[in-house]
Structures are given as C-alpha cells and as structure tokens.
Homo-oligomer: A and B are copies of this chain.
C-alpha cells in the first residue's frame, strides 16, 4: 500500500480526501496534519466543536472509523519520512510555504493554486493531459527535488477542459466563451457564502476565478514540448457566478472550432471520448469521462452531479451557435468537490502510481 498524508485534514477539502480514500485499494492514510491549533489531538477531537461537542464533519458520507482516532500533526512540522504521497488541501498562502518543503522528498498532489502557473509544474487531469506527467522530471531536475508538486486545476476549469479536449482533438478550437453557475461548496466554509447572501439570489463575481479558468484551460490543453508545456493557442473568456446550489458547477459554453462540425459529430466525439482507455484499471476513474444527454432539460446539477460517483462530466443541449465562426454551444455539469477536487486528486495519484512516479 502507498502511504499518504492529508495536510489540511480538518477543512472541508481535507474531509473530502478522507472520503475519497476510504477503503482505497492502493493508498492508505497514515498521517493527518492541520494547523498548530489542531496538533496533538485526535482527529475526532480536532473536528469537534469545543462548546457543543458537535462534530464539524461536512461530507454526506461519514469518515472511516479508524481515521477518527488518528492523531493530527502540526503541518509545519510533520514527519514525512515514512510517507509516499502528501495530499495538500490547504489554502494557497499556506501551500506556498508547505508544499515545497514536502516536495523536496515526496510527491505532493495539491488542490491549491499556489504552483499551478509555474512553468515546470503540470496541472493534471488524468485522461485529458496524462502525458504532462513528463513535466515532473523536468521539475525535479530544475528544483533539485526528489519529490514534486502536481496541482489539480481549479474546480471550474475541470469540466470545461474535459469537454473541450475531444473537440480540440477532432476539430480544433479558436475561442471559448463560458458563463459558470457555480455551487456553494466551491467557496468552502471559512465562511464561504453566507446563507443570507445567496438565498433568492445570484452572486455575479468570484474573486480570481475567471483568470484561473482562462489560464489553466490553455495550459491543460497545451502540448508537452520536451521540457515545458506550450499552452493551447485559443482564448477563453469567462464570467463566473455563484448560484444557490450545494454541489455541482453548471457551465454554459460557446466554442468556435477550427473545422466545421455538425452537432451530431460533436455529440459523438464527446460521447466516445475516453482518454483513460488502457487506464480503466485506475480505481477512481469513471467508466465514461463524458456523458451526453439528448433530453434538453439536462444536465441539471442535482440530477447529474453524482454521475459515475461525481467523476463524469455531464453534457447536454449541444447546438449550433450563429455568432462564432463554426460556433457550437452546450451546457455541462461537473462535480466540483469530487472530480473537481479531492477525488480528482486521488485519480491523479492513481495515475502517478501506475506510471511509476510514486512507489
């Protein structure tokens, strides 16, 4: 079994890692770390409310029993010697400090954005840009690390990049315009979105989100060129909003392709896409990366976010667009805290284990 630590284990993303790794066939959690405040307590104590004793556990599925009694270490002083992977679920400012420390020796798979935009750091979505794993050795060499850092994308990028990939491969992409209707869980709980603000409302702005999606999509669909990734050459323009949905980002996408393409061709390449062929043995991988609905009332976040246990991207309403050159438009739903966060990071770990980057 590969030995893993969760850093930021008490937060919502950390908790999602605990769920994503429950009964994992290849990976076992052998260490938990959080801020100094939690250090020295059992995990159960660390997530218990001091006043009421209530458990501050936020996932629908409960954690494994044995996790509850594991001690929580101070992330800044965690002993990593016996570990194979560090899953990092901390905020970006913490990630900047902690992740390089761990990466000197170990594989760090991160949900934070701190290193996403560094030249020698791949943003991995298994099955979409698996070949970017080759950047890992470039990174190791450049930084003199035995380990490495591989962040996953922002959760809003994930579904967009996944659905653009088969279109990009088959028809080329000139440009992308996207409006997102994002779920509350993407904002976390510190304090995230206040109930008063989102009830009967839409929040039209998510700080920093649009820039991330625009830049990350180009990098993910870029081509590996020896020792760097050349970003894909199309522009992405986004408006990101928050709606009163618990989980599951909805995105309204307009794409200009290079070659003309009919709606049924787009439907076919999306439906048939399987970047994980040959990799179906990855335990967290969906059987279908992309599911396409004919029903015009789909995808809906509540009905479709859990498809393939939240690891599939669900697409619908594929139509011609009459504004863009070779324009098509569609909607997608992607589970922002499964494929778009912890479970997506676990899938990255599986890919890296299979391909020998972690052992």
142-189 of chain A: CB within 8 A of chain B: 175-177, 179, 181, 184-185, 189
Task: Select which of B52, B195, B301, B303 is within 8 A of A184 by beta carbon.
Answer: B195
Cα–Cα, bound, A243→B245 (Å): 9
Taken together as a complex, chains A and B put the C-alpha atoms of A319 and B327 apart, in Å, by: 23
Query: Contact at A204–B55, with CB atoms within 8 Å?
Result: no
Q: Are the CB atoms of B185 and A317 closer together than 8 Å?
A: no
Tell me whether B295 and A237 are in contact (CB under 8 A): no
A277 close to B (CB within 8 Å)? no
Picked from B55, B245, B296, the residue with its CB within 8 Å of the CB of A200 is B245
Is A200 a contact partner of B237 (Cβ separation < 8 A)?
Answer: no
Q: Which residue of B lies closest to A296 (CB)?
A: B205
Q: Mark each residue of chain A from 223 to 262: 1 if its CB lies under 8 Å from any CB of chain B, else 0.
A: 0000000000001110101011110001010101000000
A322 on interface, CB distance cutoff 8 Å:
yes
Q: A: which residues have CB within 8 A of B?
A: 51-55, 58, 60, 175-177, 179, 181, 184-185, 189, 191-205, 207, 214, 235-237, 239, 241, 243-246, 250, 252, 254, 256, 294-303, 306, 316-317, 321-324, 327, 329, 331
Chain B residues near A192: list those with CB within 8 A.
194-196
- How many whole Å from A57's CB to the nearest CB in chain B? 9
Given contacts A53-B294, A53-B295, A323-B175, contact A196 B199 (CB under 8 A): no
Cα A53 to Cα B298 in complex, Å, equals 12
Determine which residue in A53, A193, A199, A301 has the highest number of CB atoms from chain B within 10 A of its CB, and name it: A199
Q: In the bound complex, do residue A317 and residue B205 qualify as a contact, i.e. CB atoms below 8 Å apart?
A: yes
Looking at the complex, which one of B60, B193, B237, B329 makes contact with A239 (CB distance below 8 Å)?
Answer: B329
Instruction: Specify which of A246, A302, A327 lies most central, judged by the most chain B CB atoms within 10 Å of its CB.
Output: A302
Minimum distance in angstroms from A73 CB to a CB of chain B: 26
**Residues on B with beta carbons closer than 8 Å to the beta carbon of A256:** 323
**In the docked arrangement, what's the CA distance between A197 and B52, Å?**
17
Chain B hits for A297, CB < 8 A: 52, 54, 203-205
How many Å lie between the Cα of A167 and that of B299 in the bound state?
Answer: 34
CB proximity of A186 to chain B, nearest CB, Å: 10
Across-interface contacts of A241 in B (CB, < 8 A): 181, 250, 252, 331
Complex contact A177–B254 (CB within 8 A): yes
* Residue among A175, A192, A195, A256 with the highest chain B CB neighbour number at 10 A: A195
Identify which of B191, B196, B204 contacts A298 (C-beta below 8 A). Answer: B204
CB atoms of B239 and A252 under 8 A apart: yes
Known: A177-B324, A195-B244. 19 other contacts (CB 8 A): A58-B196, A184-B196, A184-B199, A185-B196, A193-B194, A199-B199, A200-B244, A202-B301, A203-B297, A204-B250, A204-B331, A236-B323, A237-B321, A237-B322, A237-B329, A239-B331, A241-B331, A243-B243, A256-B323
Give complex CA distance A181, B179 in Å: 10
